[in-house]
Amino acid sequence: MTTYSGSCHCGAVTFDVETDLSERIVCNCSLCGRSGTLYTFVPASAFTARGEETLTDYQFGKESIHHTFCPVCGVRPFARGTAPSGDEMVGVNIGCIEAIDRHTLEPTMKYDGRSV
What is the domain-level CATH number for residue 59?
2.170.150.70
Model pTM above 0.85:
yes
Q: Which of 92, 69, 67, 89 is nearest to 17 (CA)?
A: 92
Whether 116 is in a domain gets the answer no
Whether 86 is in a domain gets the answer yes
Average model confidence (pLDDT) across the chain: 91
DSSP H or E run through 35: helix 30-35
Domain span including residue 23:
2-111
CB atoms within 10 A of CB 26: 17
Whether 15 is in a domain gets the answer yes
Q: Is the pLDDT of residue 76 over 90?
A: yes
Q: Is the pLDDT of residue 29 over 90?
A: no
Whether 70 is in a domain gets the answer yes
Tally of domains in the chain = 1
Q: Show the CA angle centred on residue 95, arms to residues 18 and 43, nearest 5°.
A: 30
Whether 76 is in a domain gets the answer yes
